[in-house]
Chains A and B, each alone.
Chain A
Amino acid sequence: MGVDRSRMPAVGDDPTFRFPAIVRHRLANGLQLRTIEHPGLPIVTFVLQVDGGSGADPAQLEGLAALTADMADEGTGSLSAIDVSDAFARIGGDYDVDVAPDATTFTLTTMTRFAGRGATLLADIVTRPSLRQDDFDRVRQLRLDRLKQLKDLPPAVAERAFLRLLYGSHPYGHLSIGTDGSLQRMVRGDVARFHASTFRPSRATLVIAGAMGHDDLAYVAQQAFGSWPGGASGTGSVAGTGGERLAAADSIEPPTAGAPRLAIVPREGAAQSELRIGHLSARRDTPDYAALLVMNAVLGGQFVSRIMLKLREEKGLTYGARSGFDWRRGRSPLLVQTSVRTAATAEAIRDTLDEFEGVRGSRPPSAQEMALAKASLTRGYSRNFETGPQVARSVAQLALYGFSDSYFEDFIPKVHAVTADDVTRVAGEYLDPPRLTTLIVGDHAAIADSLPSLGLGEPRILSAAL
């Protein structure tokens, strides 16, 4: 029987979305524990999230949180860095550490039969790292050398410069790796102090998702992390290097003015112009989150969006362009990222600015765009929670932002409730085109003549030095 090709098959009813049960526990030392049963493959994932990331770096010591996190698997007890790596490999462990603006997150995935060994190893390196001088010297040097290499990577240069332009000297205003100067200044004692003040059970959440029962998961956690000494709580702040208390990054209001409208990091002979266009906007815990996601989906948050269609599908100026929020607890950047043909730099900037302006008022989302944005945000939502590691990381996010355990199940109805008026309202509230900063990492000489036509004033010239 032939297929009717005159029209596409209709999509059936949306599947019901259910998030697995999260069981909360609290160890005697104050460590928050959340367990999730993830049946199927004999795999278990541990996510240990510590409150305090690059936004907790003391001034002048940017990069301290990341270096401290990096030192965890450099040795513990009698184990050297090589021994730790070997121990992970022997349980087929997949170990990773991520230092984000608000938190440091250690993730270990292993096979369930090694759950106990994995948890103990993770607890040992995170709570009792050796922090030896020789390892510190080597790791710091590797990071200094990495910084040198990043100077040649346009996306890294752009990210570093853009954070600085938007946040200035605010604790969110630097890359987690820090700067050459700050890393040069750092000594082993800084790491030890940061570790002692930040890595405490009262500041941490352990999430475990695996093919085991809640009780077994909790038992494994208790065995491995129960002996982590508690001590005083350091809620919301971390001790600086001199022992003084610093406020958490999200409680410090970032600057609202002062960022230039146009800036350039010259890169002579660059094959493309790397662009960042945006400004500071909402916080992750804003009640307008769902409406902002819909707005972003229309603007440039997905393939079929205004910016992508304009820059790539209509004009072929780029391989890809994307808008989005770089979410944090505090005010977060809303930005467009793209890399465009050098000769089309000004055109791509003009088109992007035009789309920001459009979604804010002159061209509000159509009914069709609203439907597309909402459907793409909700219908495939369960895809984000297919694997144990995905589930464990998601639950850690709930802890990071203080969201309820029903957060993910509430998400879909919240998106469905967003109206076009909501999008126009949040665009008006969180998007301010005259305040947008445009950063170019590209061949200044080749594009200089085209920039005045943008009407953004004289560009501020920045250095690629990290």
Chain B
Amino acid sequence: MATQVVMPKLSPTMEEGQLSRWLKNEGDKVSVGEPLAEIDTDKATMEAQALATGVLRKILVPAGETVPLGAVIAIIGEPDEDISGLVSEASSGAAQADNKERIEESVQGRAYGAPDELAQVVPGGERTQATVEGQPLKSDVGGTPAAPEAGAAGQNKSQDPPQPQQPQPTAADAGGNGQRAEGSRLIVSPIAARMAAEAGINLHDLRGSGPGGRIVKRDIEAAMSGAAAQPAAQPQAQPQTQEQPGTQLRAVPSPAQVPADGVAPYREENVTTMRATIARRLITSLGPIPHIFLTTEVEMDRAVEMRRQLNELDPENKVSINDFVIKVAAVALMRHPAVNASFQEKAVRYYERADVGVAVALENGLITPVVRSANTKSVGQISREVKELAERARNRKLAPDEYTGATFSVSNLGMFGVDEFTALINPPEAAILAVGAVTPRPVVREGQVVVRQIMRVTLSCDHRIVDGAAGAKFLQTLKKILENPLYLIT
């Protein structure tokens, strides 16, 4: 089996070699590892060794001639073997370019350094596929070249520099990122990004105060404490004429000194791990908001009596039981902030005033106009406001900010004779109070069956924020004040 001997790469920068001297003559026996020839490289004179055993059949490059890397310089074979095919292939030059590429690839693929390289030998007429390091290629025999075919064999590449193996990034690639960056990319410092992620703050909601709008640490700190700072910056007594164009359009019946519209001031506390787990688990039970329902009976005799007296005093502005409920609920909310809150995924928002939504039935629907700061208003004021809002609600004259942004809602179906029902929470509020009719019922007081004016109320709570006990305590307060309305003036 005849093999080709090719010009080996004997120095890292070698592109061609001069065959300085043949150490064997045609017809000499050679064995693997024996020196075949001396080659002058660009650096030194080196020996090319045989990678096959046999007879040096044909010298193709005479001493003194310079040939490019990979050129076939000799053929080793059996003494009587026909080598004419290999000779003609070698003389065509086609083999050289291909060999050279393979040698270059192999050298580039290695680490650095230039260990002794042996002459490249192609067994069985196959051209060599690799520069070998110290060892003859055993897997060569009759095998397919391991390295991929690269480049056209016919091209004379002897003078070409090695082709870059790695695709170069194109200008378009390089520019692509930058172009995208200018328009919409969020610029944020690493620590700010990290803090935002930990606190669950959406960076898109923030405006960066750093150069070029970079969101920096202080912006995140502001966002984290901002919730608490905001209400401080908007004191309760702020005149309501500011900023809100809607205000002027609205005839507010009460001469309210109250702050009114917009989002109620609040403080936020981060959701604890436990709270997040509770939220995650409960949400899988009933709709997106996991509800719990708490019902209690309220003895309304004193409230009914007080209402009667009030209405005697001012027949022009009669107050309803529901107005009492709104007022008392608002007062109770201030004492039980968990019920006057909103679940914000990573934080719980605790509102600092009670903006009570009052469910008003419409002909074919329902709307809940909001009594702002109900905790600071008198029952009379609330009554006037509810009447006016309900009137305009029925006429579809409410502005959006008049029926959004409540912190809690009250729904009363007592006028329809409903004794008791459950209401569904109006997100993102944390609770709603369902109020039934006031009806005389027999109850047991001090061992005696007596008749009392009884009203049943059911509190629906967002269990992610309001646990059963917290809701129950709110109801206790509500019940205590409704049963003893004099508390309202203490």
A, B: real partners: no
A interface, CB within 8 angstroms of B = none
> Residues of B at under 8 Å CB distance from A?
none
